[in-house]
Structure formats: C-alpha cells, structure tokens
Amino acid sequence: MSGNTFASGAAWRGALVTVGFAIAAGCAEHERASRAEPQARTASHEITARETSAVKSGTPLSAAKPAQVGSYEVVAEFNGAMPTGVTVSRGGRVFVNFPRWGDVVPFTVAELRDGKAVAFPDEAINTYDPAHVAERLVSVQSVVVDPDDRLWMLDTGSVQFGPVVERGPKMVAVDLRTNRVTKTIAFPPDVALKTTYLNDVRFDLRRGQGGFAYITDSGGEGPNGIVVVDLGSGRSWRKLTGDRTVRAEENFTPVVEGQPLVQRPQPGVSKRMAMGSDGIALSADGKRLFYTPLIGHHLYSVSTDALANEQASDEEVRQTIVDHGDRGYASDGLECDAAGTLYLTDYEHNAVHRWPGIAGGGDGAPAAGAGQGGSPPDQILVQDPKLLWPDTMSISNDGYLYFTANQLNRQKLFHEGKDLRQKPYLLVRTKIDGKPVALK
C-alpha cells in the first residue's frame, strides 16, 4: 500500500472552493464538463488534498428555482478506485468505501487516518476470498455510523453487479472505540435475492431491543424493495417488493453531461438503466422513511411503523406511502438533518439540493414553513461541473454535509467499453449548520 496523503483540520480551509450562480429565465439545461483521455488506473487509493481556486458555476437549472450561492471544500482526492459512500463519526473520523465494480480494489472500506487511506478495520477482512465470503467483505456499497457511534459496513455480496453469492450479503458493525467487529448480520436468500443490490442504510436505535435498520434494494435486474432489519435479533424481511414506487420510473431516461444515460457495454448494444430504490433518509422524528429510485424524478416517503411491522401486508404498507412529486431531477443520495431538512444529490446537474422542513412532520406532510400546497421550496445548496455524479452524503456533528463525486456515468459500461473517467474522484464538504439525525 502506497503512502497516500490526506489533509485535515485547518488544511481544509486552504482548499475552499466558492461557487456562485444566478438563475436566468428559460428551460433547464444540463452542464457538460470537458472530456479528456482517462488516466490509467492505479492499484492504490491515492488521496491528496489540493489547493483550488475559484471556479465558474454550472449552468442554471431553471428560472423557477431561486438564486443561491454555494461553497464547498475539497476534503480529499482519489486516484485509485472510485468511491461511493462516506460517513463521519461523532468525533470527526471519516470513512469511505470502494465497491468492487471493476477497478482494482485493495480494500473496500477505508478510514482517512494520519494522512493515509487505511484499510478498515484491517486488511484481512478487506481481502476478498470467494471461499470465506461470510467472514470477509465482498463489496461494500455503503458505510454509515449509527447513533451509538458504531460503523456499519453494508456488504452487497455481489462483485461487478453479478448475482449475489451465498452468505455474502451482510451488515458488519465495528465498535469505533476498539476498531473491532462486534456484530455481523447475514441476510437470508428470501431477503437478499439473487438480483438484490443492497444500496444504502439508515438506523433508528429506539425500536425493539437493539434498534432497526432500513435498506434500499436498487438491483437493476430484480423487483427492488425495502429491507428491514431488527438489529437485536438479526431478523430481516422485505417490504414493498416490486412496488411501483421502488422501481425505476417507466419511460424515463436521465440525462447527464448532455447525454442520455443508457447502458452501452459494446458497440451496437444498448439497454435502458433500471436501478430502483437507491437514496434513503429517515425523517427527523423517525416516523417517515424517504426514498427515491435512481432512475426517476419522484420522491416518496413511507411510514416506518408500517415497515417495522413484519406482519403488515405490502398493501397495508402501501397505504402509508406519500408521493412528494416530480422534483425535476434525479438523485443518487439522500440525507436528513435534525431540523427536518432533506438533502438530495442531483446527478443530472452536478448539484446538491435541500428541501427545508419536508422531513420534520410525522404524517408525511411537510412541516410548517416547508412551502405551500405540500410542496417545499427546493433550494440549490451547491452546484459545479466538477461535482460530477454526487453520490452519497453524510452530516457531521460540526455542521458539514460531506459527499462523494465519482463520475459514475463515465464508466465503460455506458460508453461502449471506453472508460472516460478523469481522476481524481472527489470527497467534498459544504457548511450547512445542521446536525445529523440521531434516533436513540
């Protein structure tokens, strides 16, 4: 493993990037970042902080959205495998993950520690071994620190989006006081289907004997759904399997960098993207779970009481769903703060948005001040062409929203076998003065 460097604390202040933009009249336009020959992949996760200067803003999204001024700091650059998830502990420790999608991935989970990206919790558990998939990490899609300051690693059990391997899909908890694995919850075949792709997870530790977790199944070949986990017993079950709200929206194709996002693995072959429920967030009071398909513009929420009731039928759960409407852009990640503000990435416009108050009410309706007619005011928090494909978000205790930008749309799957990604991939943060949801 190479000696990778990482800047923290005061060094971030020098990496400040300020992004401003004004909203002009007219239709929404999609910003296209310049393309160049992709750099060669490296086996290590090289991370360096960089000094950055002011950059021009992205193209305005719509005259209907109010003018905003956003700023962000580049926390780290990645010159090896592409990251997806990020999470920050109560004490400010930063963790990232690198799914095994085709890059050389020496470790699928890492901590940014003492200037280096270090395999976490150790190299052994990160070493992929088809003969020991139950004890080792296969491919982690998401890392999340829960309200008890435990790091949970969500293992898809799938390599390069292939079928789930038996005993591979699981959740692994690490006690951040000792950096040791304290719990592993494996998913049975009737929960993690062969086509399942476990995508993101949120926690409510007030339920049951040990808390509950909610996970999205975004698999592109299967029925999609929400997975519910009783952390105390280790039991898990599916809800809303195949429901319209968890599937990719029909007759919808996202546009990124001015190009329709369609799978084109080789010349003459084209296939529509069908990734379903992806982004996920718990409301500030824990009563609603917000989710959105990766391929679609609609945002939904559902009662967590209904999800947590294993005996409730899908029809009973479906009766609690609220469709919050077409927001005009597609999202990968969702996050909520303790005040009920919902944050949404916008991979079609290289942006992150916020909806104040929408996640503060317990009945699915926006809280007071969240807008009229049930529609909260959508605000652009930050936008820049360099934030290409904002993915997963995490809120830190000191009031920053962290997120990765990983150029997912430039992978060779979408460009006839040509990898158009331009390293480095980015981990950035922007000041929001919000606090994370801590349900315990």
Under the banding of pLDDT at 50, 70 and 90, the label for residue 187 is very high
What local confidence, expressed as pLDDT, does residue 360 receive? 83
Give the C-alpha distances (Å, rounded to integers) separating 14 from 6, 54, 74, 223, 426: 13, 12, 9, 46, 16
pLDDT beyond 50 at 68: no
pLDDT above 90: percentage of residues in the chain = 77
Q: How many CB atoms lie within 10 A of CB 227?
A: 25
7-59 pLDDT, tens digit per residue, is 333 333 333 333 332 222 222 333 333 333 333 222 233 333 322 222 222 23
SS (H, E, C) 387-409: CCCEEEEEECCCCEEEEEECCHH
Residue range 9-22+75-431, CATH number: 2.120.10.30
Q: What is the distance of C-alpha 278 from the center of its chain?
A: 8
At position 224, the amino acid (one-letter code) is N
What local confidence, expressed as pLDDT, does residue 362 receive? 61
Both tokens of 266, joined, read 């080789």
Q: Rounded CA gap, 347 and 439, in Å?
A: 29
What local confidence, expressed as pLDDT, does residue 415 receive? 96
What local confidence, expressed as pLDDT, does residue 30 receive? 33
Under the banding of pLDDT at 50, 70 and 90, the label for residue 363 is low
Report the range of poorest mean pLDDT among 48-57, 207-216, 284-293, 351-360.
Answer: 48-57
Nearest to 16 by CA among 94, 91, 65, 71: 71
Give the C-alpha distances (Å, rounded to integers) separating 62 from 31, 221, 384: 12, 34, 15
Q: Rounded CA gap, 130 and 132, in Å?
A: 6
3-class DSSP assignment, residue 414: helix
Average pLDDT over residues 257-272: 95
Q: Rounded CA gap, 142 and 221, in Å?
A: 20
Nearest to 112 by CA among 6, 3, 2, 9: 6
- The reply to whether the predicted model has a pTM over 0.75 is yes
What are the structural domain ranges in the chain? Answer: 9-22+75-431
Reported as type and span, the H/E element at residue 318 is helix 314-318
What local confidence, expressed as pLDDT, does residue 5 receive? 34
Average pLDDT over residues 377-404: 96
The torsion region of residue 225 among left (phi > 0), alpha (psi -120 to 50) and beta comes to left
pLDDT beyond 60 at 176: yes
Q: Rounded CA gap, 70 and 18, in Å?
A: 7
What local confidence, expressed as pLDDT, does residue 152 receive? 98
What local confidence, expressed as pLDDT, does residue 115 receive? 64
3-class DSSP assignment, residue 258: coil
3-class DSSP assignment, residue 71: strand
What local confidence, expressed as pLDDT, does residue 376 receive? 55
Q: What is the distance of C-alpha 162 from the center of its chain?
A: 20
